[in-house]
Amino acid sequence: MRSMTGYGMGRARGEGWEVSLELKTVNHRFLDLGLRLPRNLVFLEQTVRDQVSGRIRRGHADVFITVGRTEASAREVKTDEPLALAYAAAAKQLAAAAGLANPMTAVDLMGLEGVVTLDEPEMDQQQVAALCAEALGQALDHLLAMREAEGELLREDLRTHLDAAAMLREQIRERAPGVIDEYKARLEGRLAQLGAEGVDPQRLAQEVALMADRCAIDEEVQRLGSHIHQMRQYLDAEGEIGKKMDFLIQEMNREANTIGSKASDAAIAQMVVNLKSEIEKLREQIQNVE
């Protein structure tokens, strides 16, 4: 079992280029890749999408990529001397017109637009793509290790709440037969208080049978038990199980609601409240299962 939350980073260097990469994931119904690249790195997009989708099934993933040169000497600083002289002459002319000393220095000139440019060699896209794949592989390894570690914690928490739900389901199953017996006893007691004599036993039995039919929750309790058993199997399964578990949680909640509406018993109603609380805790945790 894997969580959908994780973080990983990787770095690769080779022949004058370096790629640094960070990968963050959070829960999402499907695989949703958030990748915003500067124009000169757009060629990396398909590489990243293919590699991430090959190892992650669900979750929103943000990828941050930085590409740079490892050799400072590969960059060349160029100056536009005629433009700098033109700037200086204009500054000198303005200073003379205003009666001011010319404050323009070489450093000031270098800060003006177009005077200094940084010339970098053309990017080797094939090499950078290979370095990106290497760095992304490292980041995915780290991220998946974190997702699996958190997945183990999720598994234990889910097992705890599932055990609690199973216990409540068993209590409801044991309590259900007594509801009809208590109804029959209350009905007979009520008739006795009203002084009713000569009540037809068959009519009384029919009334109790009608109540038993309205309150019958055997099928719902049985289906709830089946869902719990299937959920336990998913806890030890591999692969993409979050969607299946989410569907089962909806079915468990539906059975709990039906039991609560049909039982007509205060004790069972309280058990159902507790059961739904455990199901909600399961649902919240399952939202983060891949």
DSSP letter for 121, please.
Answer: P
For the chain, state the CA radius of gyration.
36
Cβ proximity of 84 and 73 under 8 Å: no
Cite the beta strand spans of the chain per DSSP E: 6-14, 17-26, 31-35, 59-69, 76-79, 116-119
Cβ proximity of 95 and 58 under 8 Å: no
Residue 259: Cβ-neighbour burial (10 angstroms; 0-12, 13-18, 19+): buried
Q: Residue 178 contacts by C-beta under 8 Å, 6 or more apart in sequence? A: none
Q: pLDDT tens string for the chain (290 positions)?
A: 899 999 999 999 987 889 999 999 999 989 999 998 888 899 999 999 999 999 999 999 999 999 988 775 566 778 889 998 998 888 888 888 888 887 788 888 888 988 888 776 678 899 999 999 999 999 999 999 999 999 999 999 999 999 999 999 999 988 888 776 666 666 656 655 666 555 566 765 666 566 656 667 888 999 999 999 999 999 988 888 999 999 999 999 999 999 988 877 888 889 999 999 999 999 999 999 99
CA distance 35 to 289: 23
The structural domains of the chain, with segments of one domain joined by +, span 6-72+121-147, 76-119, 151-286
Cβ proximity of 61 and 33 under 8 Å: yes
Degrees, nearest 5: CA angle 167-172-174: 95
Cβ proximity of 186 and 202 under 8 Å: no
pLDDT, tens digit (0-9, with 9 covering 90-100), for 97-156: 888 887 788 888 888 988 888 776 678 899 999 999 999 999 999 999 999 999 999 999
CA distance 179 to 29: 42
> What is residue 195's three-state secondary structure?
coil
Crossing angle of helices 242-262 and 218-235, in 10° steps, is: 160
Torsion-angle region of 177 (φ positive above 0: left; ψ -120 to 50: alpha; else: beta): alpha
Q: Which CATH class is domain 6-72+121-147?
A: alpha beta
DSSP letter for 198, please.
Answer: S
Cβ proximity of 161 and 94 under 8 Å: no
Cβ proximity of 219 and 244 under 8 Å: no
Which of 117, 119, 120, 118 lies closest to 17 in space, CA to CA?
Answer: 120
Instruction: Note the pTM of the prediction, 2 decimals.
Output: 0.70
Query: How many angstroms separate the Cα of 280 from the Cα of each of 81, 86, 222, 276?
Result: 72, 73, 20, 6
